[in-house]
Amino acid sequence: MHESLLAQGLSVASSPEKSDFHLINTCTFIESATKETIDTILSAAKVKKKRKQKLVVVGCFAERYPTAIQTDLPEVDLLFGTGKYALAGDILKSNFPNEFQEIGEMNAEIISREKQFRNSDKKKVPYAFVKVSDGCNRGCHFCIIPNLRGEFKDISEDKIILDVNKAISSGAKEICIVSQDTVFYGKSTDKLKEIIHNITLQPGLELLRLLYLYPDKKTFNLLSVFQENPKIAPYLETPIQHVSEKMLKKMNRTGNLNFFKELFQKAREVQDLEIRTSIILGYPGETADDVDEVLQFVEDVKPEKLALFAYSPQEGTKAFEFGDDISSKEKARRVNLVREAHLNVLKGIHQSRIGKIYPAIVDEVNGDEVIVRRFQDAPEIDEIVRVTQKNFSVGQIGKVRIDSFTEYDMDGEFFSV
Ligand code: SF4
């Protein structure tokens, strides 16, 4: 989006009060995000009263509630969704031709300085996220994403490889594959295996991380690539959302406790592989027995990383029609109960890591502090290892020995190779 705006001669204003176009990029995935979005638009509407400017709302909220925004927020001049980010500059120009006449003097030199400034301002990181598909056909009853992103669409292999190479030439050593439903890529596991293989052949790529693998047979069948291809991170990210079969059916999801145990047992055959999953608690109709099943799962499978969410109903989803029969207090209690159980499990996991040596990458260098990440941890979300040695640079690959840990993160020593 930023590049498209720059290409049309727009640059970043120092504050909303000084902007000609005030763009608000929105989210509406959960209730709190929607509330924050509305509050932000209302504050922007106040700014607009003080200055002649156009208020533009983009992203998920714009896509989800176009009529309501037009009716209830007349200060908003224009709306467009996530699918049009790359065209943002053209959209603004065609909708506000008069305003663009005034911007016409912005010349190529200024634009190129802007680009340079943006690149130097951006924190240098040794990883990049590359999208392989958009949309989702699964239809989980609690999820608004299919309404927002539409049907599943593959991104062409050429575009994916181009994005991977662009990221590598900008300094990425690690590529994280993202989508709403990665195992659906190419609609066959063989096709997905083929693109994974082709990505790992790209010169300069050290590590490929597969994110968002739906916990079904396709993911089960994909596990062999983790064994076969040393460039794939030993990391299985598969959001199960619950373990009780009754709840999963009510969520319109597949799986059950036995299948998940089988899946994770198979995944653990990959040396030192770690698991990230997520669970929603307090979904309509969830009973104490269902929560006990979750606790049993945590105890038995011991996922290294576990994201826990209290269910929040989303208007426009099937689950919204089921009501919301569990109080917020009870949902929070259930989340805390499972979190406590997981923290106990995590303590044991951390202890077993002490003295072990893992392949790792330098993520950040801040003066004397160096932040290293094991291949078992995804960027921006998982644990890090703090090391105090000097003279390492971002993107260096090596090994880290774990010496101690706090609740989530670790301390250790890094050895470059
Ligand atoms: S698979 Fe994921 S994105 Fe697709 S509907 Fe289910 S929760 Fe939403």
Q: Decide which of 54, 84, 118 is a domain's last residue.
A: 118
> In this structure, are 188 and 153 located in the same domain?
yes
Distance from C-alpha of 254 to C-alpha of 407, rounded to nearest angstrom: 33
pLDDT of residue 366: 84
> In this structure, are 185 and 201 located in the same domain?
yes
Average pLDDT in the chain: 89
> In this structure, are 167 and 195 located in the same domain?
yes
Q: Quick check: CB of 412 below 6 Å from ligand 1?
A: no
Q: Decide which of 71, 103, 118 is a domain's last residue.
A: 118
3-class SS at 322? Answer: helix
Q: Quick check: CB of 293 below 6 Å from ligand 1?
A: no
In this structure, the dihedral spanned by the alpha carbons of residues 130, 132, 134 and 137, taken in order and rounded to 10 degrees, is -140
> In this structure, are 161 and 69 located in the same domain?
no
**CATH for 403:** 2.40.50.140
Q: Is residue 133 part of a domain?
A: yes
User: Ligand 1, atom 3: nearest CA belongs to which residue?
Assistant: 180
**Alpha carbon of 141 to ligand 1 centroid (Å):** 9
pLDDT of residue 353: 97
Q: Is residue 263 part of a domain?
A: no
Q: Quick check: CB of 275 below 6 Å from ligand 1?
A: no
Distance from C-alpha of 5 to C-alpha of 63, rounded to nearest angstrom: 20
Q: Is residue 269 part of a domain?
A: no
> In this structure, are 113 and 128 located in the same domain?
no
3-class SS at 39? Answer: helix
**CATH for 60:** 3.40.50.12160
> In this structure, are 111 and 37 located in the same domain?
yes
pLDDT of residue 101: 58
**Whether this model's pTM surpasses 0.85:** no
**Alpha carbon of 225 to ligand 1 centroid (Å):** 24
pLDDT of residue 91: 81
What's the domain count of the chain? Answer: 3
> In this structure, are 229 and 189 located in the same domain?
yes
What backbone torsions phi and psi does residue 398 show, to the nearest 5 degrees?
A: -165, -145
Q: Residue ranges of the alpha helices (H) in 254-309? A: 257-267, 288-301
Q: Is residue 323 part of a domain?
A: no
CB crowding 58-73: b at 16 or more within 10 Å, else e: bbbbbbbbeeebeeeb
Nearest by Cα to 119 from 273, 3, 39: 3
> In this structure, are 77 and 160 located in the same domain?
no
Q: Is residue 163 part of a domain?
A: yes
Pocket test for ligand 1, best of 145, 211, 277 (most atoms within 8 A of CB): 145
pLDDT of residue 291: 98
Q: Is residue 228 part of a domain?
A: yes
pLDDT average per 10 residues of sequence, the chain (417 residues): 67 72 79 78 83 85 80 84 77 77 47 47 84 95 90 95 97 96 93 97 98 97 96 98 98 96 97 97 98 97 97 92 96 97 96 97 89 96 90 94 91 90
> In this structure, are 20 and 37 located in the same domain?
yes
Q: Is residue 328 part of a domain?
A: no
Range of the domain at 27: 2-118
Q: Are 81 and 103 in contact (CB under 8 A)?
A: no
Q: Are 415 and 402 in contact (CB under 8 A)?
A: no
Q: Decide which of 118, 145, 164 is a domain's last residue.
A: 118
